[in-house]
Amino acid sequence: MRRIARKTVEASTPRRSPAPARVPARWSLDDCTRREPVVDAILGRVVRYVGWRKCMRCGHPFWSEDVQRLRLCTGQPDRRGCRNRQDEGF
């Protein structure tokens, strides 16, 4: 049986530090249909989408940093949000 030599990976391999993504500014409340892409600054591709969304539980509109993942509203100064710590474990 032949042994195959494994390549050693140096621990000092420089890693690319994450660059900030280009996040669009929050716009005023609309009819919860507009979605804007967040673009990675280095790769130039879409990472996620932001926008206003209606909560699945209470129906109030809220600003979502990721419209595909965040579907329950967060706490606001005037009311309590529907999302809690158990919902964030995805």
Do residues 65 and 83 lie in contact, with contact meaning Cβ atoms separated by under 8 Å?
A: no
SS3 state at 43: coil
Q: Which long-range contacts (CB under 8 A, 24 or more apart) does 29-32 make?
A: 29/61, 32/61
| pLDDT tens string 1-19 | 666 666 555 554 455 556 6
* Residue 56: C-alpha distances to residues 6, 7, 17 (Å): 51, 50, 36
pLDDT, averaged across the chain = 79
- CA dist 7 and 64 (Å) reads 44
Question: What is the chain's pLDDT, residue by residue, as a tens digit (90 residues)?
Answer: 666 666 555 554 455 556 678 889 999 999 999 999 999 888 889 999 999 999 998 898 998 989 888 888 877 777 778 877 665 655
